[in-house]
């Protein structure tokens, strides 16, 4: 039976292979894919991710093969990403406590969220694609968090790559504020692979030094004493499955992340990589 995957991308730049890898695996299985971005703007790949000659500073080598660069460019130039679902029009925004009529607005928020969850039910799983862009418009996006929480409540697998894994750390029930990955095992971009400078975002002149948050430290804290963060620095691949979460460390792990999500959906995989 064909599966339906919701793929969430940043509007500030995704890493080419981190979409291409899982998407290739989904296409091979005949899965239906729906793309979504925060406001419905078309996503674009970060230029370095389409350049096989670009040297990744921490690794001192290219992380993109010529074949991957070519295929990622073809995908980025295609019409396939032209009309993504706009999350802001789909998922309601939680009101401020200071808003007039706060109680009624909060009730409306939950009613609208229930309706959105009915629509979310058509998906079998979701993927948050990595790159530097998620730092800007996905990591602390309440609407993205609500989508993640809906999948978790439904017992459906949730996959995330690279800085997209931060969304899992920050997705929390409003009542207890406890991370949904507390007690879980995850991977994500480790400190050894963080840039010292040169991190940029698509569509802006802003280029900063190191990332504004060290993802490894956030994940170590969010998983708590009963879970664990696995950086696996130096190992060629790092993908961790601790159901319902499938997490990929960075670019080289993209195809394997897609494969493990498929195995989770089709074969009942619940644990891998730890």
The structure tokens 């925060």 sit at: 38
Alpha carbon of 72 to those of 14, 135, 146: distances in Å?
11, 21, 29
Q: How far apart are CA 61 and CA 223, in angstroms?
A: 31
A 10 A CB-CB count for 32 gives 12
> Looking at residue 158, what is its pLDDT?
98
Instruction: Indicate the domain borders of the chain.
Output: 4-272
How many of the other CB atoms lie within 10 Å of CB of 68?
Answer: 22
CB 211 within 8 A of CB 135: yes
> Residue 46's closest CA among 12, 83, 9, 7?
12
pLDDT of residue 209: 73
Going from the C-alpha of 271 to that of each of 36, 62, 186, 237, 274, the distances in angstroms are 28, 31, 11, 16, 8
State which H helix or E strand residue 89 sits in.
helix 87-90
- What token pair was written down for 142? 């309440």
**How many CB atoms lie under 10 A from the CB of residue 192?**
12
pLDDT, tens digit, 9 for 90 and up, residues 209-219: 788 889 999 99
* Termini Cα distance of the chain: 30
Domain 4-272 = CATH 3.40.50.880:
yes
Q: What is the pLDDT of residue 204?
A: 62
**Are the CB atoms for 158 and 123 separated by under 8 Å?**
no
**Phi then psi dihedrals of residue 217, to 5 deg:** -65, -40
The answer to whether residues 211 and 132 touch, using CB atoms and an 8 Å cutoff, is yes
DSSP state at residue 252: G
**Low-confidence spans in the chain with pLDDT less than 50:** none
Residue 88: helix, strand or coil by DSSP?
Answer: helix
pLDDT digits 0-9 by tens, 119-137: 999 999 999 999 999 999 9
Beta strand 271-272 with 239-242 is antiparallel
């Amino acid at each position: 039976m064909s599966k339906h995957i919701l793929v969430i991308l940043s509007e500030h730049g995704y890493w080419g292979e981190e979409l291409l890898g899982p998407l290739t695996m989904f296409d091979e299985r005949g899965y239906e894919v729906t793309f979504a971005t925060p406001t419905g703007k078309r996503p674009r790949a970060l230029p370095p991710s389409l350049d096989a000659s670009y040297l990744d500073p921490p690794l001192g080598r290219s992380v993109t093969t010529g074949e991957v660069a070519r295929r990622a460019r073809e995908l980025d130039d295609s019409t396939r990403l032209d009309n993504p679902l706009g999350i802001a029009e789909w998922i309601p925004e939680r009101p401020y406590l200071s808003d007039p009529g706060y109680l009624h607005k909060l009730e409306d928020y939950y009613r609208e969220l229930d309706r959105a969850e009915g629509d979310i039910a058509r998906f079998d799983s979701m993927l948050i694609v990595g790159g530097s862009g998620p730092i800007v418009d996905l990591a602390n996006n309440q609407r993205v968090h609500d989508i993640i929480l809906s999948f978790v409540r439904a017992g459906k697998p949730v996959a995330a790559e690279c800085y997209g894994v931060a969304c899992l750390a920050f997705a929390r029930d409003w009542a207890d504020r406890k991370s949904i990955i507390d007690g879980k095992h995850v991977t994500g971009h480790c400190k050894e692979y963080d840039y010292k400078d040169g991190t940029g975002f698509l569509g802006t002149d802003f280029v900063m030094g190191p990332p504004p948050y060290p993802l490894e430290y956030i994940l170590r804290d969010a998983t708590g004493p009963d879970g664990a963060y696995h950086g696996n620095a130096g190992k060629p691949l790092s993908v961790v499955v601790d159901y319902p979460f499938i997490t990929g460390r960075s670019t080289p792990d993209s195809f394997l992340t897609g494969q493990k999500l498929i195995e989770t959906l089709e074969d009942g995989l619940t644990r891998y990589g730890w």
